[in-house]
Structure 1
Amino acid sequence: MKRFPILDEKWTYDYGVVFKGMELVWKITGDHKYYDYIKQSMDQFINEKGEIRDYHLEEYNIDHINNGKLLFLLYEQTGEEKYKKAIELLISQLKTHPRTKEGGFWHKKIYPDQMWLDGIYMGSPFYAEYGKKFNHPKVFDDVAKQVILCANHTKDPKTGLHYHAWDEKHEEFWCNKETGCSKNFWGRAMGWFVAAIVDILDYMPEDHKDHPEIIEVFQDCIEALLRVRDPESGVWYQVLDQGHRPGNYLEASCSCMFLYAITKGIKKGYISEEKIETAKDIYKGIITQFIEVREDGLVNLNKTCQVAGLGNKEKRDGTFVYYISEPIICNDLKGIGAFIQASAETETLS
């Protein structure tokens, strides 16, 4: 908050990651400054008509849904109709968003016929919260479909890990032409996926027919991730299963997302309480590997991959070399948001 007194540059999904962390801290501490930070920042984008600055529905970019999760909080706290109108605007995107033949949301209009793990985080928790809070139970069938389709198409049967993305047509230059999957297991992609699932389960009715399967997907992911966790540092590599390869590195954002999912999963009963000590060890690893306290008292989060994607540019080919080539930066908002969320969940873990 000292570095970024307000987040108002553009409607970008990483703001939502930070704001959800702030929401958790507000609820834990009761300090209203965290809520005020969210509201003041979000109000830079939402006008009285419920229109969103820098948002263009016709782009059909699933990333642009993520910040909408904060609109529920703001509507509940203020009762102001502009937030409800903005929620409905984002829902109108999901109602018309392009889909695969099986009904999975395309990641973006510019990435046709593709589902990415990232996209489940960007769209489905918002969609599920809408279903619960606005009493649209049919939404849960669609939310479950997104998770299950993405899980089934991206899972590697040998490791239990999930590939970053899947091309329905098996044609993209980055995909395996037999499976349609990308080539590697990128840490943050799986981070988005497990964080999404544990958040979706906050809203999905326990008696929904797909509830058990979604929990099973979540549990399988966590087990697979724990198998490839680096035993020495206690955290995870950028390319999850290739820690031995030169150039690979311990990466902050995915490690924080995994910890968030694990600690929240323990609290919700999806993961055994026997994993509490594991969670604490992961937290220690994150502090040791990534956190730096400066002389002026400010805290740095180091070693976050700035961005990684597939297609659009030839270098974004999903190879190991590609994933380790993207910039590694300090205090990336995605990493900061994930760290705040992970810390909030872990420090309230009894």
Structure 2
Amino acid sequence: MKNLEVENYIESYLKNYKDYKSEWNYEDGCILIGAEALYKASKKNNYLKFILDYLDRRVDENGVILELNPVEYNIDNINSGRVLFTAYDETKNEKYKHAIENIKYLLKIHPRTSEGNFWHKGRYPHQVWLDGLYMAQPFYAIYSNENSDKYGLEDILNQFKNVRKNLFCEDKKLYFHGFDETRTMNWADKVTGKSSNFWARAIGWYAMALVDVIDNIDESLFKNLKDEFIKLYIELMEGIIQYQDQSGLWYQVMTLENKKGNYLETSATLMFAYSLLKGNRLNILDKSYLDKGKKAYEAIIENNLIENNGKLELKNICIMAGLNGLIPFNGDRNGSFEYYISEKIGVDDPKGVGPLFKAYSEIILLEDRGGY
């Protein structure tokens, strides 16, 4: 019954989906990548049709992506490009191959920190946020793996290792949200360059980035490299599960669960659920992690997928959070606890719905293995 409820929600959501923005954007990518995961798990063509219909509105016959500014230097713009690989594999339409190369070109020209990490955006110079690893690295990994590009995979690994060096907290076993190599931003520690809190969704993006990169590396060709990613992933998941609430969910700001105003947040919980479920499927994590992933998924479906006026809604999603760039906007995004809990909470946002699609795809695959 619960799975039927989820499927009804997904069908209705996709049927009524409106593009998040007029330009190419990562939020639409969250839904596209979720639909892609559902297609691969269920083989239902309606998910592929949703992806192709979207791409055909955005990609012309020469593979040019409409409403995409290449010199915006926005790492978020890589995210939606992941589904181009599936679009090409399923249709063999050359325009998708050209579009893949156009996305890869964005990475080629993207500015980097002195250590080699992609800047988060042109307007966030010299900054690395956990979010950006999800936006860029899975696409980069798929491209590198398909082209047997060891250098590309080594570049990706170096970027993850730099994040481990610059943002990991040995005490809490979690990652801070952002790093400023200039140490000048108001949110950055003047000595370490780190932001000051553990925002759950940022860590969720990072967890999904790692497990999706791992899934797209050919072990027969790049086993040693893949093992390095797996070490980082296991360490991360060991840290994350320490902070799972007894309800099965995770708080908006991790490690501060008892602080007034903190709340159990949907998108991060679904990202963690997906990562735990997939990590078990890939034989990286044992059954105890699978159980925690199932508990998280079930808690969301039970408590946060709620009927409202005859319509199912996915609630308690943090709509947006970030860190100040060159100029403040949306108030003072200073990385404080007070900031993270002040951002708007809403329903049905792609940053929560996309991870629901991905988590449910793992439930489908788990059922196929007789493990649910």
**Range of TM-score over shorter length:** over 0.9
2:114 is aligned, of 95, 101, 114, to: 101
Contact 1:8 1:41 in 2 (8 A): no
1:219 is aligned, of 234, 257, 262, to: 234
The residue aligned with 2:9 is: none
- Is residue 197 from structure 1 mapped to residue 210 from structure 2 by the alignment? yes
The residue aligned with 2:336 is: 319
1:279 is aligned, of 293, 298, 318, to: 293
The residue aligned with 2:365 is: 348
Tell me which amino acid in the other structure corresponds to 1:269.
N
Tell me which amino acid in the other structure corresponds to 1:155.
F
How many Å separate the matches in 2 of 1:136 and 1:208? Answer: 14
1:121 is aligned, of 134, 137, 154, to: 134
Gap change, CA 1:123 and 1:245, over 3 Å in 2: same
Deviates more, 1:60-69 or 1:84-93: 84-93
- Is residue 235 from structure 1 mapped to residue 249 from structure 2 by the alignment? yes
Query: Between Structure 1 and Structure 2, which shows a larger proportion of helix residues?
Result: 2
Contact 1:8 1:45 in 2 (8 A): no
The residue aligned with 1:255 is: 269
Deviation at 1:333, TM superposition (A): 0.9
2:260 is aligned, of 238, 246, 263, to: 246
How many Å separate the matches in 2 of 1:2 and 1:242? Answer: 39
How many Å separate the matches in 2 of 1:7 and 1:35? Answer: 19
- Is residue 289 from structure 1 mapped to residue 303 from structure 2 by the alignment? yes
How many Å separate the matches in 2 of 1:84 and 1:188? Answer: 32
The residue aligned with 2:7 is: none
User: Deviations for 1:254-289, whole angstroms, at most 9, x for unmatched residues?
Assistant: 000000000000011111123222222112211223
Deviation at 1:294, TM superposition (A): 4.2
Gap change, CA 1:278 and 1:83, over 3 Å in 2: same
The residue aligned with 2:345 is: 328
The residue aligned with 2:123 is: 110
Contact 1:279 1:346 in 2 (8 A): no
How many Å separate the matches in 2 of 1:29 and 1:91? Answer: 29
Alignment length (residue pairs) = 348
Deviation at 1:87, TM superposition (A): 0.9
The residue aligned with 1:12 is: 25
Contact 2:198 2:254 in 1 (8 A): yes
User: Deviations for 1:204-257, whole angstroms, at most 9, x for unmatched residues?
Assistant: 2434443323211111111111111112x1110110111111111110000000
Contact 1:303 1:330 in 2 (8 A): yes
How many Å separate the matches in 2 of 1:316 and 1:255? Answer: 22
Contact 1:185 1:241 in 2 (8 A): yes
Q: Secondary structure at the match of 1:309?
A: coil
The residue aligned with 2:11 is: none
The residue aligned with 2:284 is: 270
TM-score by length of 2: 0.90
User: Deviations for 1:32-67, whole angstroms, at most 9, x for unmatched residues?
Assistant: 111101100111110112111121111111000000
Deviation at 1:149, TM superposition (A): 1.1
Q: Name stretches of at least 5 consecutive residues in structure 2 with no aligned partner.
A: 1-13
- Is residue 90 from structure 1 mapped to residue 103 from structure 2 by the alignment? yes
How many Å separate the matches in 2 of 1:27 and 1:308? Answer: 31
Contact 1:8 1:42 in 2 (8 A): no
User: Deviations for 1:160-179, whole angstroms, at most 9, x for unmatched residues?
Assistant: 10000101121111111111
How many Å separate the matches in 1 of 2:20 and 2:120? Answer: 25
User: Deviations for 1:281-303, whole angstroms, at most 9, x for unmatched residues?
Assistant: 1122112231113453x421001
The residue aligned with 1:60 is: 73
The percentage of aligned residue pairs carrying the same residue is 36
How many Å separate the matches in 2 of 1:226 and 1:148? Answer: 21
Tell me which amino acid in the other structure corresponds to 1:210.
L
How many Å separate the matches in 2 of 1:84 and 1:17? Answer: 21
Gap change, CA 1:76 and 1:8, over 3 Å in 2: farther
Q: Secondary structure at the match of 2:239?
A: helix
- Superposition CA RMSD, Å: 1.5
How many Å separate the matches in 2 of 1:189 and 1:255? Answer: 11
The residue aligned with 2:4 is: none
- Is residue 171 from structure 1 mapped to residue 184 from structure 2 by the alignment? yes
How many Å separate the matches in 2 of 1:193 and 1:4? Answer: 26
Deviation at 1:6, TM superposition (A): 6.3
Deviation at 1:346, TM superposition (A): 2.6
Q: Secondary structure at the match of 2:254?
A: coil
How many Å separate the matches in 2 of 1:8 and 1:156? Answer: 36
TM-score by length of 1: 0.95
How many Å separate the matches in 2 of 1:318 and 1:294? Answer: 33
Deviation at 1:8, TM superposition (A): 7.0
How many Å separate the matches in 2 of 1:205 and 1:178? Answer: 39
How many Å separate the matches in 2 of 1:80 and 1:167? Answer: 41
Contact 1:7 1:41 in 2 (8 A): no
